[in-house]
Amino acid sequence: MKATTIIAPSLIAAALVSCENPADKTADATTTDAVEAPSESATGAKYVIADGSTISFVGSKVTGSHDGGFKSFTGSFSVDESGEVTGGTISIDMDSTWSDAEKLTGHLKSEDFFHVEEHPESTFTVTQVEKSDSGYSISGNLKLRGVEKNITFPATASKDGDTVKVQAEFDINRKDWGIVYAGKADDLIRDEVVIKFDLTASPEA
């Protein structure tokens, strides 16, 4: 009887952990209609995103979560004379989507999620960069699955010599981009998806 008493709370605690929403620990991106992006040529020197940079995501459902990301993407940042990041663009090859489960990776590329056959590329174009108490607030147009919305999220940005680094972690609501697949009735997929940037760039050759 004592063993049951000890084990039961442990099982309950494990179940609660597996049901946590990863997005509860990140900032919610503000989402609005897409806006006109500034001319990149007017915002500073071009720094190209380097190898080793990552763009990843975490999606979750009632019973747990999955890690994923994109293996192939290109882009650049605009940096002014004072070393401040003032703009940028990123293009993602959606067929390079990966996840921690092979079957899920295939599903993510299907019409239920990214619909890669119809929408092989996603883009993010910076529309505004503002300093904040904790670093920066970045706004940009995110085009995903053929839908374009402007999102604003907290980030850090720094320049050290010829290296620019931009990092961010926030969550978006997938339904804003028409990704409405609900999942199984007893294991529903959450609307929030955590997005993570860890990007390094250097001056264009």
Alpha-carbon distance of 162 to 47, in angstroms, equals 9
Helix or strand holding residue 114 (H, E) = none
In this prediction, the residues of the chain whose per-residue pLDDT falls under 70 are 1-18, 39-43
Beta carbons of 61 and 193 less than 8 angstroms apart: no
Which residue matches tokens 């079957």? 103
Two tokens at 52? 């080793």
Predicted pLDDT at 16: 40
- pLDDT of 2 reads 42
Closest CA to 23 of 167, 171, 154: 171
Task: Look up the pTM and report it.
Answer: 0.88
CATH fold for the domain made of 21-203: Lipocalin (2.40.128)
Task: State the pLDDT at residue 147.
Answer: 98
**Identity of the residue numbered 172:** I
The reported pLDDT for the residue numbered 40 is 57
For all residues of the chain together, what is the average pLDDT? Answer: 90
